[in-house]
Amino acid sequence: MLKRICAIAALLVVTGAGLLVMPGAGADATAKRRTTVSRNQYNILINQCRYANSVTLRKKCRAYVRKHYRIGKWNPDLDCRTYSGITVCGKLMLSRRERRCVTLMVRAGLTRRRAEVECYAFV
């Protein structure tokens, strides 16, 4: 009985989130948690990273997209918007400076969604 318990315990791994998963299930579990988007939506997500303010932020942005999204079918729930010829999707990782810009533009009468795109792309 003790050998059986040890064998079962050896098969289980405690992840950083405190969840029990079987070894080898990590890749499948990650794939299941990734949001499916169309190739076009994925390209927008990757391309919008070019507007990040530094090389480091651009790399982080692309890594985030690769980790959290996968190409499949078109996702009608993905929040995409286009302003001033710039299309972005999802939540933008704004720098402190960009967040201040958004606050000022919203106070000036711009919608938050548009202000986020304008400040992200042009500040």
Answer whether residue 24 is part of any domain: no
Answer whether residue 40 is part of any domain: yes
- Candidates 94, 95, 93, 115; CA nearest to 104 is 115
* pLDDT, tens only, 68-86: 999 999 999 999 999 999 9
- Phi-psi region for residue 24, left (φ > 0), alpha (ψ -120 to 50) or beta? left
Tell me whether strands 13-14 and 80-83 are parallel, antiparallel or unpaired.
unpaired
Question: Could you give the number of structural domains in the chain?
Answer: 1
Answer whether residue 5 is part of any domain: no
* pLDDT, tens only, 114-123: 999 999 999 8
Answer whether residue 23 is part of any domain: no
Answer whether residue 54 is part of any domain: yes
Answer whether residue 100 is part of any domain: yes
Residue 77 sits in which domain range? Answer: 34-122
Is pTM, for the whole model, over 0.75?
no
Residues 42 and 80: beta-carbon distance below 8 Å? no
What's the mean pLDDT in 18-44? 65
Answer whether residue 8 is part of any domain: no
Q: What's the rounded Cα separation, in Å, for the pair 10 and 66? A: 31
